Amino acid sequence: MIEKAFKLKLRGKARVFIDWANVYGWKKSLKAEVNPRKLYRHCKSYKETKLISLYYGTDTHEKSKLFLQNVKRIGF
């Protein structure tokens, strides 16, 4: 899904900053949820990518805690 959604043309070193609140909203236009692992792999597939950061609000909700643990394991 991610690979089909966009192809980047990078010229030199790149840093990727992802605001999860915006990505989460993509599910309306994509008609599917975005898989954080696939998103990370897609960004990492570009040799120019030197850093990938994910921004996500934190709270005490258990689902949020699990999501943050998961994205840390992925590499964000």
Whether 65 is covered by a domain: the verdict is yes
Q: Which pLDDT does position 39 carry in this prediction?
A: 92
Residues 6+ apart with CB under 8 A from 74: 36, 37, 40
What's the total number of domains in the chain? 1
Whether 61 is covered by a domain: the verdict is yes
Residue 68 belongs to what domain range? 11-74
- Determine what percent of the chain is predicted with pLDDT higher than 70: 92
Q: What pTM was computed for the model?
A: 0.81
DSSP label at 18?
A: E
Q: How confident is the model at residue 33 (pLDDT cuts 50, 70, 90)?
A: confident
Whether 53 is covered by a domain: the verdict is yes
pLDDT tens profile 10-25: 899 999 999 998 988 8
pLDDT tens profile 39-52: 999 999 999 999 99
Sign of CA dihedral 20, 22, 10, 13: negative
Whether 20 is covered by a domain: the verdict is yes
Cβ atoms within 10 Å of 18's Cβ, excluding its own = 19
Strand partners, 17: 53
